[in-house]
Structures are given as C-alpha cells and as structure tokens.
C-alpha cells in the first residue's frame, strides 16, 4: 500500500526547523505500517455494544505537520467514535471560557493511578476530580461549558471540535444510542461528584452531553489535524485560524502527558515521550510540539483501554524520527 503525502498549501506557515525530512517520514511510516499490520493482540471494547461490532482489522495512520503536510496510510477515511480523545478538546474549550487557573482549580490535573472509570478516585481526591481525562473529571469539565440549555452547550462543543478539525464533524447516532443505554456508571459518577460539589451543572444533563461528545465521528486524518492544531500553538494548520489559545496549549499537553493513556500514562511517557490521548474507539493521537501530530486508528485495545497497534506504531515512529520530547535530539542536538 502506497503512502499518500499531500504537499503543504501555499498559505501554510514555514516548516519547523527541527522537523524531519518528508522522505524520511514517508519511509518510517511505511515501515511501521508493514511491521505492525498483522499484530493480533488486544480486543475491541465490548462494554459499548457498537464498538464490539467494529471491524478489528481496520488500521490507519495519519500525520499532519504544522506546515499542513498530510501523510496517510491505510484506513484513514473510516469514521470512528472519538471517545475519550474528545476530553482534550472539551478541556481546551473550558479553558477558553474560564482560563487555565479556574479550570485547574475546579478539575485538577493529577494522575489517579487508577482505571478511567474509578469510583474511589473521586472520593480520594481532596478538592477536585483528579484530572479532566478520567471519566469523572471529563464529566465535570463538560459541566463547565456555558449555555442556556443542553442543546446550546452541545452545539458549542461540536462547533469547537469542527474548528479544531478544520472540517465538519458529526455525531454517530448509533454510538450515542448504544452508550446512552449503558452509561449508568457515568451517571453514578455524576451523582457522586454532586455529593462533593465537584460538578457545575445538572449531573445527568452533563453526562448526556459528555456521552454525545464521545460519540462524535472522526477519521485518522481529521484526528491528526486536531493534534497538529495543538502542535502548532493552537492554530489550525489548514485553516490558519487560532482555534485554541496559544497560552493554553502547554497546560493541555502537560495533562495529556500525565493522564492521556489512562493508568498506563507513566509507561507511555517513559517509552515514547510524547503527549498523547487515547480513546476506546481505537484511536490515539500524539503531539510533537512544533512539528505536527500522528494519529493511528486500530480498534483492538489492551487491558488499560488503549489501542495496541496505535501504541506500537507511534512508539516506533517517535523513536525513528527523534520525536521524544525528553531527548535532546528532538530539537536537533546530536
């Protein structure tokens, strides 16, 4: 299968001085695709009925650079549910409205070291939910979004996602219905948050909006562009629009580093060294600040809820291209 690489648009900004050569990126991505395409470990999420039925052999890789070059390989046009990756961008919207300090005060940014749907983690945190990427924290973050009613809040969230992706995204109704019928655990978390005054709107309304945001459809190319917007100081590299406040980006990336891959985030930081966020729909997006983002879609997950193939591909690509933020070679020091 050939690698598709769309050249930069004339309106794009200058390329990063530490970005790898295009030919090298093409070669490394093709190597990663061939190396891991037959990986059989993991299984689809089955606690959401819709996800259990997704073809487990789907596999796509997309890279979008800060100068808007787009590299794709595999099943990059298949629209899958964004799931927990949505938490990154709802956090960005909450920070847009409240600022980073108030958002941190109400939500926090501490790793829990527990499963993403942990109930004890809510109780153990002394003043807030833990972080915006566990379910309780994500529901609380969604509850921060302003609006006169649920529809206005939801429209605001989806429109913000559209701007970050540079394309119109849509709700996958089947996913939403499937999740809404099985989200009693999240409803229970919302009521526990209410008990401790850690949710800031109606609990069940907040859960419903959160369920919708997780059910948004996105393909690997769109997801990579959303990541590249973070890599590009909040400017969408395709549209040139400042979608996320420049000053908010470091906080978002720091939270992705600490909690982006659930309770295996520490292992990810150790081995890969990139801010990233996974979703149980099978996607992972990783950010190389100033360079771009890589998104990989492959449904089978490990026990922590992270795509097996996506982790392997991003790890391989990050090492080959010197993306690891903790390595001096990531900024060209030999």
Residue list, annotated binding site for substrate: 84, 135, 179, 186, 210, 262, 280
State how far the Cα of 102 lies from the Cα of 109, in Å rounded to an integer: 12
CB 193 within 8 A of CB 139: yes
Residue ranges of the binding site: 84, 135, 179, 186, 210, 262, 280
Beta strands in the chain (DSSP E): 4-6, 60-65, 70-74, 80-81, 217-218, 276-278, 283-288, 292-297
Q: In which element (H, E) is residue 310 found?
A: helix 308-320
Task: Spell out the residues 6+ positions from residue 313 whose beta carbon is closer than 8 angstroms to its own.
Answer: 32, 33, 36, 61, 294, 296, 298
Task: Give me the phi and psi of 116, to 5 degrees please.
Answer: -60, -25
The 3-state DSSP class for residue 139 equals helix
Nearest to 288 by CA among 320, 246, 253: 253
């Amino acid at each position: 299968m050939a690698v598709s690489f769309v050249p930069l648009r004339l309106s794009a900004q200058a390329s990063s001085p530490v970005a790898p050569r295009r030919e090298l990126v093409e070669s490394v991505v093709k190597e990663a695709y061939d190396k891991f395409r037959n990986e059989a470990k993991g299984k689809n999420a089955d606690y959401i009925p819709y996800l259990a039925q997704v073809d487990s052999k789907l596999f796509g890789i997309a890279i979008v650079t800060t100068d808007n070059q787009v590299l794709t390989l595999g099943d990059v046009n298949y629209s899958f549910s964004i799931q927990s990756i949505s938490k990154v961008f709802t956090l960005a919207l909450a920070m847009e409205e409240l600022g980073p300090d108030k958002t941190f005060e109400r939500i926090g940014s501490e790793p829990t070291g527990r499963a993403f749907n942990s109930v004890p983690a809510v109780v153990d945190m002394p003043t807030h939910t833990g972080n915006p990427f566990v379910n309780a924290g994500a529901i609380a973050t969604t509850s921060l979004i302003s609006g006169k009613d649920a529809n206005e809040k939801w429209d605001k969230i989806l429109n913000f996602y559209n701007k970050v992706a540079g394309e119109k995204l849509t709700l996958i109704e089947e996913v939403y219905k499937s999740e809404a019928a099985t989200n009693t655990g999240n409803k229970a978390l919302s009521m526990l948050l209410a008990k401790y005054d850690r949710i800031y709107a109606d609990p069940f309304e907040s859960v419903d909006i959160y369920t919708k945001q997780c059910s948004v459809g996105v393909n690997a190319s769109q997801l990579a562009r959303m990541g590249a917007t973070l890599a590009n100081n909040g400017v969408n590299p395709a549209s040139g629009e400042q979608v996320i406040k420049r000053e908010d980006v470091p906080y978002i990336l720091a939270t992705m580093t600490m909690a982006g891959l659930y309770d295996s985030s520490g292992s990810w930081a150790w081995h890969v060294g990139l801010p990233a966020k996974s979703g149980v729909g099978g996607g992972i997006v990783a950010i190389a600040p100033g360079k771009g983002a890589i998104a990989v879609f492959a449904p089978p997950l490990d026990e922590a809820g992270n795509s097996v193939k996506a982790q392997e591909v991003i790890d391989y690509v990050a090492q080959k291209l010197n993306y690891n933020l903790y390595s001096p070679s990531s900024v060209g020091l030999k």
